[in-house]
């Protein structure tokens, strides 16, 4: 069997910016002294006159991005999720969100899979923060192909966008002809007993879990929600109505993230039980990324175990 290609979505982000620089001359990239880690260094090498290193000053970077957007540029402000969403939240809210400026925020190293950097750098709250900003689009792609298409889709739309990327390499499961649309989810697997709604790095874990559950007679539908805001209400409502049980899977706090967004839709459209699988309102810890996913029950084994425990009750 051929080995599955794995690419970190932060790498795909950097490659996409470098590839799209020629097509979009108004594209400008900003970074906060982390270009080697966020992979924006590839854009810097090709277009040094359109790259701004703001230093370790994330709030200032967001202000500069706002100014560039006001002048007609398409700025991508890049840093770790902890610093982009956490440290610079007030500037994003008031200087980007409030005037609804065309700023794109590339937040890398999100979630507990940051690994050995530990709890201070493992941002599991950023989706919750960004969802609450009026008019902010929140995107979390799941693999290399989806990421590159999402970056171009963000360039083409008008308004602020928060894009969440991971450090850990993710299996590439989309094909090059994959059609990406902001606000629309993807049905990856049919199922009739329950629905697994996943996002980002954990989409492939949800797919693997569904395959294992099938061997035990449990038919699980799998949906990829790459746009957490605006979320695909129609697809989620249909899954609730047709499978009568929803499980959300995310590398984020269960409060305010994908699970909360899905639960809101289900409560308003077709009330059925929703079980949220994610960081259970706790901080992460230092350790190898794959081992941390296992420890917090976010791998395929953990998902299967949680599903069976819940159905057993």
Any idea which residues carry the catalytic annotation?
A: 58
List, in sequence order, every residue forming a beta bridge with 29; answer none if it has no partner: 51, 76
Residue 284 contacts residue 292 (beta carbons within 8 Å): yes
DSSP conformation class of 146 = H
Give a three-class secondary structure readout of 27-85: EEEEECCCHHHHCCHHHHHHCHHHEEECCCCHHHHHHHHHHHHHCCCEEEEEEEHHHHH
Give the single-character DSSP code of 94. Answer: I
Neighbours of 23 (CB within 10 A): 9
User: Can you read off the two tokens belonging to residue 142?
Assistant: 């799941």
264 CB-near residues (< 8 Å, 6+ apart)? none
Distance (Å, rounded) from C-alpha 229 to C-alpha 148?
Answer: 19
H or E, element range at 109: none
The CA distance from 11 to 38, in Å, is 7
8 DSSP 8-state letter? -
d(CA 92, CA 121) in angstroms, rounded, equals: 19
β pairing state of 104-108 and 186-189: unpaired
d(CA 248, CA 167): 21
* Residue with tokens 């980002």, as numbered in its chain: 200
């Amino acid at each position: 069997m051929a080995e599955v290609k794995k690419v970190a979505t932060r790498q795909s982000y950097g490659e996409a910016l470098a590839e799209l620089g020629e097509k979009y001359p108004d594209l400008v990239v900003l970074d906060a002294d982390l270009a080697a880690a966020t992979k924006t260094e590839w854009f810097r090498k090709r277009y040094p006159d359109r790259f701004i290193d703001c230093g370790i000053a994330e709030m200032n970077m967001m202000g500069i991005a706002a100014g560039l957007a006001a002048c007609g540029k398409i700025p991508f402000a890049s840093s770790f999720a902890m610093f982009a969403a956490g440290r610079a939240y007030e500037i994003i809210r008031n200087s980007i969100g409030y005037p609804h400026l065309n700023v794109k925020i590339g937040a890398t190293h999100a979630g507990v899979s940051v690994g050995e950097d530990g709890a201070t750098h493992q941002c599991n709250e950023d989706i919750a923060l960004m969802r609450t900003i009026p008019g902010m689009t929140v995107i979390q792609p799941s693999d290399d192909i989806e990421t590159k298409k999402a970056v171009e889709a963000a360039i083409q739309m008008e308004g602020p966008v928060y894009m969440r990327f991971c450090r850990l390499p993710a299996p590439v499961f989309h094909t090059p002809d994959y059609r990406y649309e902001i606000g629309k989810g993807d049905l990856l697997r049919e199922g009739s007993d329950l629905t697994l709604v996943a996002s980002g790095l954990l989409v492939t874990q949800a797919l693997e879990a569904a395959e294992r559950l099938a061997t035990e007679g449990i038919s699980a539908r799998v949906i990829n929600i790459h746009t957490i805001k605006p979320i695909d209400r129609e697809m989620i409502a249909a899954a609730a109505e047709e499978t009568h049980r929803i499980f959300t899977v995310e590398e984020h706090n269960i409060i305010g993230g994908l699970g909360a967004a899905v639960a809101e839709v289900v409560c308003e459209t077709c009330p059925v039980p929703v079980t949220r699988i994610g960081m259970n309102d706790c901080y992460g810890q230092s350790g190898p990324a794959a081992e941390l996913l296992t420890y917090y029950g976010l791998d395929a084994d953990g998902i299967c175990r949680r599903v069976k425990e819940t159905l057993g009750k």
